[in-house]
């Protein structure tokens, strides 16, 4: 189906656009009152993800409010570990948890790449969303990176100190590499199926890559992301975005692995990033999400400041430097989206 709005795809390929495209990480979520009603209808978060019609509904909700240039599949990065049998569940105020944790070579040996059938609900959601979009905007698919998925699997959920995954890295590096190799295959198959089902671009979320030292980031995170990218690029002509939170130290290395776009957090300017990676990749980002708690004038000024940092009119996708907060007023998001589209160099 031909897209009515292809700004995002043009920007990812560093082609000229009439205005800077914008989408927002976590654009479908708890800051929207309609999302809260839909989640209550589903009873719990995982049921919401597994119901294609409801996942479609929450994917489309922000597009009804805002003139966004992309939709992103409503799902969770932990679908793969859940399909591996780790027993994903969510506790109020505590985030995701697993009933089973992975902390030894024996634990890793109990795992296998999930069958495609175990993740059919994700692909069904993609089909349902694409049908409902009718070519209005591109649909982004996504996955967590192998390292980021491993952190949750080894920690058993969210963590403040990541002592279990760091301990595994230092004391059993071969075991960690076995886990990462398995996850690399699983993520590759998962993203390939999303692509075959029809997503227009994908983003890899390396949320916890910034925890690592430089040698460890290159060895335990970026290396495996590169394997995923190379495998996908060998079969599919689709743009790939990489987001490593707190990963600005490694931009040059990230730009060399074959991705089309680097998504930045807010701790670097776009000008600095462009100076370092040149035109090798498109740039996504990178407004501080907390700007959305400010008044309208401040939001517009902050948006202009980000836009003015970018040199040229090709290869920039506006986004936040991380996901939107659940406490943001939706009116602030409209101010931001409109400000980005109204900006002219």
Q: Which two tokens stand for residue 330?
A: 């939706």
Show the tokens assigned to 307: 């836009």
Q: Which two tokens stand for residue 230?
A: 């190379």
What is the Cα–Cα distance from 292 to 262, expressed in whole angstroms?
22
Give the Cα separation of 101 and 164 in Å (integer). 10
Q: How many residues appear in the chain?
A: 345
Query: Quick check: 284 and 69 in contact, CB under 8 A?
Result: no
> What gap in Å lies between CA 128 and CA 29, rounded to an integer?
19
Q: Which position among 7, 31, 50, 76 bears the catalytic label?
A: 76
In the block, residue with structure tokens 């301990």: 167
Question: Strands 95-98 and 88-91: what pairing?
Answer: antiparallel
Cα-flanking dihedrals φ and ψ of residue 242, to 5°?
Answer: -115, 125
Structure tokens at 217: 């980031």
Catalytic residue among 7, 26, 50, 300: 26
> Could you say which of 13, 39, 103, 136 is catalytic?
39
Note if the bond before 286 is cis, omega within 30 degrees. Answer: yes
- As a whole number of angstroms, the distance between CA 181 and CA 111 comes to 12
Judged by phi (left if over 0) then psi (alpha if -120 to 50, else beta), residue 25 lies in: beta
Q: Which residues contact 186 (CB under 8 A, 6 or more apart)?
A: 80, 84, 113, 114
Q: Which of 104, 180, 189 is nearest to 146 (CA)?
A: 180
Establish whether 39 is a catalytic residue: yes
106 is known as an active-site residue: no
Active site residue 76: yes
Could you confirm whether 295 is annotated as catalytic? no
In the set 31, 123, 152, 224, the catalytic residue is 152
In the set 13, 30, 136, 304, the catalytic residue is 30
Could you list the active site residues? 26, 30, 39, 76, 152
């Amino acid at each position: 189906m031909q897209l009515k709005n292809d700004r995002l795809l043009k920007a990812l390929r560093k082609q000229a656009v009439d205005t800077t495209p914008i989408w927002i990480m976590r654009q479908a979520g708890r800051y929207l009152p309609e999302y809260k009603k839909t989640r209550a209808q589903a009873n719990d978060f995982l049921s919401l993800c597994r119901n294609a019609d409801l996942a479609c509904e929450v994917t489309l909700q922000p597009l009804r409010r805002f003139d966004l240039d992309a939709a992103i599949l409503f799902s969770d990065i932990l679908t793969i570990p859940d399909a591996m049998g780790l027993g994903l569940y969510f506790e109020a105020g505590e985030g995701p948890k697993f009933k089973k944790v992975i902390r030894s070579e024996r634990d890793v040996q109990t795992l296998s790449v999930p069958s495609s059938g175990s993740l059919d609900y994700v692909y069904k959601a993609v089909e349902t969303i694409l049908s409902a979009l009718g070519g209005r905007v591109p649909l982004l698919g996504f996955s967590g990176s192998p390292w980021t998925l491993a952190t949750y699997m080894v920690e058993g959920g969210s963590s403040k100190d990541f002592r279990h995954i760091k301990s595994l890295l230092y004391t059993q590096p071969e075991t960690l590499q076995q886990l990462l190799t398995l996850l690399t295959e699983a993520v590759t198959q998962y993203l390939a199926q999303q692509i075959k089902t029809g997503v227009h671009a994908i983003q890899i979320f390396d949320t916890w890559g910034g925890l690592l030292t430089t040698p460890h980031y290159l060895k335990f995170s970026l290396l495996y992301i590169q394997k995923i990218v190379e495998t996908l690029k060998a079969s599919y002509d689709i743009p790939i975005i990489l987001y490593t939170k707190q990963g600005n130290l490694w931009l040059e290395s990230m730009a060399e692995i074959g991705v089309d776009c680097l998504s930045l957090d807010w701790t670097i300017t776009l000008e600095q990033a462009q100076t370092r990676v040149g035109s090798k990749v498109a740039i996504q980002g990178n407004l501080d999400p907390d700007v959305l708690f400010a008044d309208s004038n401040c939001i517009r000024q902050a948006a202009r400041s980000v836009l003015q940092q970018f040199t040229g009119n090709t290869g920039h996708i506006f986004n936040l430097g991380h996901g939107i907060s659940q406490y943001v007023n939706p009116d602030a998001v409209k101010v931001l989206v409109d400000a980005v589209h109204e900006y002219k160099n």
